[in-house]
Structure 1
Amino acid sequence: MTLKKREQQAILQNLKQNTSAKITSTSLLESYTKVVSLANSLQIALIALFGLLGAMAAPIAFNSNDQQQLNIFWLLLILLGTHFLSLFIWLIGCLKRTNVSANHHWFNVLLSKLGRTMRLPKEVIEAFLTLRFGSSAGTWGVARLLHCCWTSYLLGGLLSAVLFLMTHQVHFIWETTLLTQQDFHSLTQSISTLPSWLGFPAPSAADIAFSQVGIDQQPEDTRKTWAIWILACVFIYGVLLRLMLAVLSHILYHQKRTAVWHSYTSNKPLTAKVSSQIVDPAPTNQSDSQIVPPRPLESAEQRSTSLDQICYLFEWSKSIPTDALNGCNAASLNNAEQQQAYLQHPIDHRAIIIDADISPDRGSLRFLRQANATTESFYLHGNAFVQAWSQALQEREITPHKIIHLKD
């Protein structure tokens, strides 16, 4: 299986800060490809299972009495009832715009369990769920899967019903306590509107009269008309409707998924003729003409001070730079609890070391701005996003004197 170039770039960018540096890019892409194959196989298996269930359910719906009589509208209700109920629930969920992650949580859990069984790296599975089922992409991705499953279910039921009607001769009847024959005719004509547009014949008043319960003889043409009409209703209101929704969900899923990939590939490491950018910058009231360009940074060698402060590695994911730390025993600020403790228990001579090979984001910058009052220095370790970090920190009122480039 070949991954798209943009997805390859996105997966490498995503895993860059969550995976050990000892794992090569080739190994990451191989593991990611296995997860993609697993997810595709899982979806195909679910679609095939629904098709099998539909093929098994149709003969049960066509189960008739000793006189081989089938109630027409009761039969339609059995064949299409659960389909319309699930479609109604799905539409209500879309209108309410519920939490998108909850809409596809079941698929994430199922894929994660299968991935662990196959011993696939947890980080790669999480990256796959982020890149292919993150944000609203997951909502439309699972919507596509659900509509494909129901299409398979209804198609399996339709083929099974065709086989049943080809091998059995049944009498289609209708009976009611509250409705008249005219009411039944009007209802039939209303349902027949869409099938008639596609060339399927609608039952006539004579067909309805010959199908009333208590009529012993039913013409062969009437039985054939009812059979084609029922099959046409299942095809149009079931298979065709779900197939159209599956195609629509597929288009929206690809659009949202591509947007997720673009959010990663648009923040690639700096290259020639490409300026640094801040991911998700915080709003500012300053106009463009008032923005002061960031001052150039000093290196640790240019500064008389050394790393004799209490050091904290901020959201650190790569190996600890022991040479650069010069014996400093560094603590970690990798989660919300550690960061909250840092803010609540200030002490003197503290320094935060930032991984400058990862682009800044708003959440990280918000914490660093809060920590500025009780932090003596901010060291940038790495080279890829040094200027982006420098600009972002200075925009958050951290003086250039406190920002030092700690070179590799």
Structure 2
Amino acid sequence: MRNGSLSSPARPDAPLLQHWRAEAVRLREAHWGPLEDRAACQAALREPARLEPRILARAAWLARHGTLQDCLDQWTHGARWALIVLWLAAGLAGIAAATAALNQGQGSVNLASALLGLLGLHALTLLIWLFSCLPGLQPATALSRAWLWLTRKIVRGPDAALAAQAFLSLLMRVRAWKPTLGLLSHGAWTTAYLGAIPTLIVLLSTRSYTFHWETTLLSPQAFTVFSQWLSSLPRLLGFPSPDHQTVAQSMGDAASAAAAIQADWSLWLIGCLVCWGLLPRLLSLAVCGAWLRLRIQGLSIDPDLPGWLELRERLMPTHEILGTDGPAPPVAPVRTDARAARLPARHAAVLACELGPDLPWPPDGLPGTVHDLGRCDSRADRQRIRTQADAAHLLLVCDARLTPDRGTAAWFDELKHSCPDLRVLCLGGPAARRQAWDQVLARQNLQQVPDLNTWLEHIGSARHD
């Protein structure tokens, strides 16, 4: 089932989706050979006379008239669910970290240990990300590997790897992988702090804690300088800033410190998480979003890539119609075969698809109201059928002794989109071959009929209705 938003002409596809789809088609043809694209190229030639829009239009036609668009949609949904799972896990980790920071024992909280547990790993990973943004350095891939691994677990199938490969290849080509990883990482840390900060507020509002500094080597002056430096940003947002006397009192008997001092330390700890944890991640998330948007705007088709280089002559033919330079000479009327003329619409027809010569055609008992489109055994026959197949009901008679291939499936798909009621009759063939036909027709959502009479009864009841 196609995604209606993707196929609606009123909502053009985003540039990222268009190029992702084209890259998936290119990789698919590179791995498994060219697709049957005559109709796709005809649709692409209606686009402006530039190679890029025609390549994108050809890829869109092939994806929507095959299974590739469904594969991309499934991978997109799976990637979103994987991202949601990772961010939910990060939120739970933030809740656990906040709970552990306050539950150090008997309600007494070592501020240095709490800050290290809540901001230490965050500061380290943020510095690593900043250094990875420098040219020539590779970003960390642990979170991205977890995301891709989880996506593979959610989305299974032979084409799932193709969708992921095309997506990564496209992002690498426009150097958009670093901001993509930044969105993953900063989104996870933002979710973690959105879980940790409310948890701190709830715990500090419902339980009694005492805060203190503990040291063996450092002096109270060192903690005063450290706390004043950390308070530089929270002070701008109205959070309390402890002075030298408050730090000195907190290094003594923490239980004897005034309740107001304990409340100030609680707000100071929350302010440090907001200003040194949440806000840097939100800012980095916004920067990565703008960076990624800028890279995506630079998406373009490289015509020298394998797969697209071969399309230049077909999508940009060297011959052009320059116009008429004089009146055309009189042409004598030409007699045309009645079967080559386009048949009237809303009729019923039968077509033999690569039927063996030992199987008679047309079938016995075919009424005169059903048009015979003849045999279809070559490209020329398929082109003839394209000009004739405008039937409301079409019966495709196949030789089940042959093995269906991708070309056969593509031809079925093309006929299915030109005929509203397409059914298939398979003649002969061993059980193994019939099973292969059943699988192909099931993937194409095509119904089979056991014999000609059953199909005639079907179209008779349809006309009666």
With the length of structure 1 as denominator, give the TM-score of the two structures: 0.61
Instruction: Report the structure number with the largest CA radius of gyration.
Output: 2
SS of the aligned residue for 2:109 comes to strand
Distance 1:219 1:70, change over 3 A: same
Residue 123 of structure 1 aligns to which amino acid in structure 2? Answer: L
**Whole-Å Cα distance in 2 between the matches of residues 112 and 78 of structure 1?**
30
Which of 229, 233, 242 in structure 2 is aligned with 1:190?
229
Alignment-derived partner of residue 10 in structure 1: 19
Counterpart in the other structure of 1:37: 77
Q: Distance in 1 between matches of 2:138 and 2:221?
A: 47
Q: Distance in 2 between matches of 1:101 and 1:204?
A: 40
Work out whether 1:65 is the aligned partner of 2:105. yes
**Which gives a bigger RCO, structure 1 or 2 (Cα 8 Å, sep 6+)?**
1
Given that 1:133 and 1:257 are in contact with CA atoms closer than 8 Å, whether structure 2 keeps it comes out as: no
Counterpart code for 1:196: R
Change (3 A) 1:213 1:133: farther
Q: Does residue 83 in structure 1 map to residue 122 in structure 2?
A: yes
Q: Which residue of 1 aligns with 2:256?
A: 217
Contact 2:152 / 2:160 at 8 angstroms: preserved in 1? no
Deviation at 1:239, TM superposition (A): 0.8
Per-residue Cα deviation, 1:85-127 (whole angstroms, up to 9, x for no partner): 1112222322363246968862675266336625544433322
Q: Does 1:358 align with 2:367?
A: no
Alignment of 1:331-350 (within 5 A): none
SS of the residue aligned with 2:176? helix
Distance in 1 separating the partners of 2:317 and 2:178 = 36
- Given the alignment of the two structures, is residue 383 of structure 1 paired with residue 422 of structure 2, yes or no? no
| Cα drift, residue 176 of structure 1 | 2.2
1:45 is displaced (CA, Å) by: 1.3
**3-state SS of the aligned residue for 1:70?**
strand
Structure 1 segments, 4+ long, off by >6 Å, are 100-105
Cα distance in 1 for partners of 2:108, 2:255 equals 11
SS in 2 for 1:18: helix
Whole-angstrom CA distance in 1 between matches of 2:160 and 2:153:
12
**Residues 81-160 of structure 1 aligned to structure 2 (within 5 Å):** 81-95=120-134, 97-99=136-138, 106=145, 109-110=148-149, 113-114=152-153, 117-118=156-157, 120-132=159-171, 134-160=173-199
Q: Deviations over 1:345-394 (max 9, x none)?
A: xxxxxxxxxx87524xxxxxxxxxxxxxxxxxxxxxx6224559xxxxxx
| In structure 2, C-alpha distance between the alignment counterparts of 1:182 and 1:356, rounded to whole Å | 70
Distance (whole Å) between structure 2 residues aligned to residue 103 and residue 21 of structure 1: 36
Q: What CA deviation, in whole Å up to 9, does each residue of 1:236-269 have, x standing for no partner?
A: 1001111110111111112212323xx12xx7xx
Structure 1 portions without partners, runs of 5+? 268-277, 281-314, 318-354, 360-381, 389-407
CA–CA separation in structure 1 for the residues paired with 2:141 and 2:245: 52
Percent identity reads 25
Q: What SS does the corresponding residue of 1:98 show, helix, strand or coil? A: coil
Closer, same or farther: CA 114–89 of 1 in aligned 2, 3 Å:
same
Q: Which amino acid aligns with 1:151?
A: T
CA RMSD between the two structures: 3.1
In structure 2, the partner of 1:207 is 246
- Deviation by residue 1:323-363 (Cα, 9 ceiling, x = unmatched): xxxxxxxxxxxxxxxxxxxxxxxxxxxxxxxx87524xxxx
Q: Against the structure 1 CA distance between its residues 70 and 123, is the aligned structure 2 distance closer, same or farther, given a 3 Å change threshold?
A: closer
| Structure 1 equivalent of residue 63 of structure 2 | 25
Distance 2:222 2:147 in 1: 48
